[in-house]
């Protein structure tokens, strides 16, 4: 194994550690408010509208697409239009 291979494996291990920490941080952030929001979405009647500008807009679009793929009526509206 050459030096380049060892460096790549070291970077990969560090990346995996960082990703593991990020997943752990997300798991720690799930609280009663998050669970209440999930219950609200599950019990709702009618359409779900997501909104956002810039990066949050792309996230809102993805959330609407995910909700639609799960069988909910959801769509994205840009607050700038």
pLDDT tens for each residue of 26-72: 988 889 998 898 898 888 889 999 999 999 999 999 999 999 998 88
Confidence at residue 69, expressed as pLDDT on a 0 to 100 scale: 95
Asked if pLDDT for residue 76 goes beyond 90, the answer is yes
User: What whole-number distance in Å separates Cα of residue 36 and Cα of residue 33?
Assistant: 5
Task: Give the CA angle between residues 48, 51, 56 to the nearest 5°.
Answer: 125
User: What whole-number distance in Å separates Cα of residue 78 and Cα of residue 56?
Assistant: 11
**Could you give the residue ranges of the DSSP H alpha helices within the chain?**
3-29, 32-43, 55-69
Q: Is the pTM of this model over 0.85?
A: no
Confidence at residue 43, expressed as pLDDT on a 0 to 100 scale: 87
User: What whole-number distance in Å separates Cα of residue 73 and Cα of residue 81?
Assistant: 21
Confidence at residue 15, expressed as pLDDT on a 0 to 100 scale: 92
Q: How many residues does the chain have?
A: 81
């Amino acid at each position: 194994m050459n030096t380049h291979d060892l460096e790549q494996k070291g970077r990969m291990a560090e990346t995996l550690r960082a990703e593991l920490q990020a997943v752990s941080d997300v798991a720690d952030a799930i609280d009663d408010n998050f669970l209440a929001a999930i219950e609200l979405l599950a019990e709702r009647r009618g359409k779900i509208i997501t909104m956002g500008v810039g990066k949050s807009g792309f996230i809102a679009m993805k959330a609407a697409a995910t909700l639609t793929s799960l069988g909910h009526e959801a769509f994205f509206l840009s607050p700038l239009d």
